[in-house]
Structure 1
Amino acid sequence: MVRVTFILAFTIIWLDIPAKSLASFPFKSKDVDTSYIVSFDDKLIAGIYFPQKFVSFSTFDVASGKLIEYQPNSKLAIGLEASYKWFGLGLAYSLPSSKKSSKQLGNTKSIDFQYNFNLRRWAIDGYFQLYKGFYFSNMSDYFDLWDYDSNYPKTDLNIGNYGIVANYIVNYDKFSYKAVFNFNEKQKKTVGSLILGTFVFYNTLNADTTFIPHFAINYFQNISQLSNMSTVSFGATVGYAHTFVFKKYFCLNISLIPGYGVYSNSAHYDDGTPIEKGLKSAFFFQSRVSFLYQKNNFYACFSGVTGTQTTISKSPYSFSFGHGQTELSVGYRFDAHRLSNSKVFR
């Protein structure tokens, strides 16, 4: 199953739209080592899930060692999902933020489309994210007696993250991402795989005024008036993924996938004056984590896919754009043939 998730700005509905995938076609034993992977292609998978998504931005000043970090006030959602063979569908309701949370962290509006495509040989992640409204998340680095009830929201800050990550699974005949993220396969034995791939991202940041807070200007004087920037980054990844199978019913997958490439950065002061442009080095890092419990046809899983693009240059500061999602899923695999033959469907 391939899951596509939309989070629409100003609405409370998340929608998962299915798409056809080679990885979701009927299981072919010649493609895998069946002593390592078991298919649930004949199962109807249904459950409840709690997704949460985000983008973030940070800048680091080498000389002072100070960090500025902005996070969105992301909302948790609750929804229902179901899949059979290549078809999957999910609907989720975005839970409203509490008054206390809105007062402390401000409000975030977003359009968030994340596409996680787990094939037999490939894991492909696509992103179309646009967020407005952030808060300064590391106030304690600047104020010893900082009170959590008093924060620094940046309501005019807009951040966009658009990109794709494509990773090739070298040990595809024994290692399955579908087992720990889609639940339509089972990993029978502990196994790992080398991961090779590529990434390309386009990131934007803009605000009505500089995103450097007044209390941090002394540490970021070179970019104290920076209010708009965009970056294009691309490169190659080499990483490793490992799934631990233990105590018969548990699986833990950890994937660490660093990458290196180049980026082109265009940044402007709030008066429109350009301050940096050119081709420089870029560092990318993606992590995939899944902790799964399954017994017979029941499963419960906490999973997450996150990534960061960081600029590297001779200048005294660097920029990082982060993205990702976490999710708690609980569900059951039903025998589709038995259901179709039951009186309920007659």
Structure 2
Amino acid sequence: MRSYFFLFLIFLLPYFCKAQIDTTYIKPFQDELSIRTYLAMKFISMEQAVDGEIKQFMPNAPMNLGLGVSVNNTIINLSYGYGLNFMKDKEKGKTKSLDFQIHNYGRKFIIDLFIQKYHGFYTADDNDKNIVLYPDLTIQQYGAFGQYVFNNKKFSYKAAFNQNERQLKSAGSFLLGGGVYFTKISSDSSFVHKTRNSLRNFQFGVSGGYAYTWAINKRWFASGSATVGANFGTERINDFGKQKIEIYPTFFPRIATGYNKEKWSLGLSYINNLIFSSFSESTNSNVGLSSGNFQIAYIWRFDSNPFWDKKKPKSD
């Protein structure tokens, strides 16, 4: 029950944090309702470095075809995705996954939630050959990340990633925030870290960065942002103050580009949240997780009641 209440507060947050905008820089679209179709690929991968040798464990997860709805040019975005399983490469094994992500771009605050559980990975060389399967490897990550957008009157994350408004002039903003994550990695024998076949990690910290959107012309735009930070972590929450606290670097880039017209838009976006889950001085090894989403979307906007003419006839 608490989790549903928490999600409810996240969706309502932008309504309580409304800010005035500079209309010479930002302009919402007039239509209240939009429908979007998209191709998306959610992912989580692991990179393990041991004595200079790097292994990248990848899931065999195809893209999803989905449909979404947004109301009042704001945050309500309900979507359903269908996995394109025919795109899977059978040589790369089977991956079972549960991947729930929320990326909420408000006026002042942006919030990202990750609930991910993947079972079954593979490794390959730079030419995508010499494939080795790890069907027993399971990676779980639960995380929340948030940042404050300082120049929220002139810079719009919504214009770049939701495309429910337009960035009329190029603008940027400094960002400040942080995140909290819990990670669990386990296997029967294929994953080894600190002489064990499992890893648990809890971490939290702060980050800062900068975002900028180029208004190329009236229709085209390109946007990019990057944040770096430091997290403090240990195996369990109860271990804080009792065991040595490790410090991990974090990196969270986002890019987007798109084309807007009054009634429709086309956009491409990519986000990638990189955190490190453990270091081991004795074995000279570290483990890093990369999670995020790649999406291509087509958005069609129309009036919330397109079958009713709002222009009432003049009375006699």
User: By the TM > 0.5 criterion, same fold?
Assistant: yes
- Per the normalisation by structure 1, the TM-score is 0.78
Q: What are the ranges of 5 or more consecutive residues in structure 1 without an aligned counterpart?
A: 1-16, 141-145, 213-222, 267-276
Whole-Å separation in 2 of the counterparts to 1:173 and 1:98: 43
Whole-Å separation in 1 of the counterparts to 2:279 and 2:118: 24
Whole-Å separation in 1 of the counterparts to 2:119 and 2:30: 41
Whole-Å separation in 1 of the counterparts to 2:128 and 2:268: 32
What does residue 242 of structure 1 align with? 212
Amino acid at match of 2:179: F
What does residue 130 of structure 1 align with? 117
Alpha-carbon distance change, 20 to 241 in structure 1, aligned in 2, over 3 angstroms: same
1:68 aligns with 2:71: no
1:251–1:291 contact (8 Å) kept in structure 2:
yes
What does residue 39 of structure 2 align with? 50
Whole-Å separation in 1 of the counterparts to 2:307 and 2:36: 16
1:121 aligns with 2:101: no
- Could you list the runs of 4 or more consecutive aligned residues of structure 1 that deviate by over 6 angstroms after TM superposition? none
The count of aligned residue pairs is: 294
Q: What are the ranges of 5 or more consecutive residues in structure 2 without an aligned counterpart?
A: 1-7, 237-242, 311-316
Amino acid at match of 1:241: A
Alpha-carbon distance change, 21 to 290 in structure 1, aligned in 2, over 3 angstroms: farther
Which segment drifts farther, 223-232 or 163-172?
223-232
1:210–1:226 contact (8 Å) kept in structure 2:
no
1:84 aligns with 2:52: no
- Per the normalisation by structure 2, the TM-score is 0.85
1:95 aligns with 2:84: yes
Alpha-carbon RMSD: 2.6
What does residue 165 of structure 2 align with? 185
Whole-Å separation in 1 of the counterparts to 2:128 and 2:215: 44
1:341 aligns with 2:309: yes
Alpha-carbon distance change, 291 to 34 in structure 1, aligned in 2, over 3 angstroms: same
Amino acid at match of 2:118: Y
Amino acid at match of 2:287: F
1:201–1:234 contact (8 Å) kept in structure 2:
yes
What does residue 21 of structure 1 align with? 12
2:65–2:81 contact (8 Å) kept in structure 1:
yes
What does residue 13 of structure 1 align with? none
Alpha-carbon distance change, 226 to 121 in structure 1, aligned in 2, over 3 angstroms: same
Which among 218, 221, 228 is matched to residue 258 of structure 1?
Answer: 228
Tell me by how many angstroms 1:292 deviates.
1.1
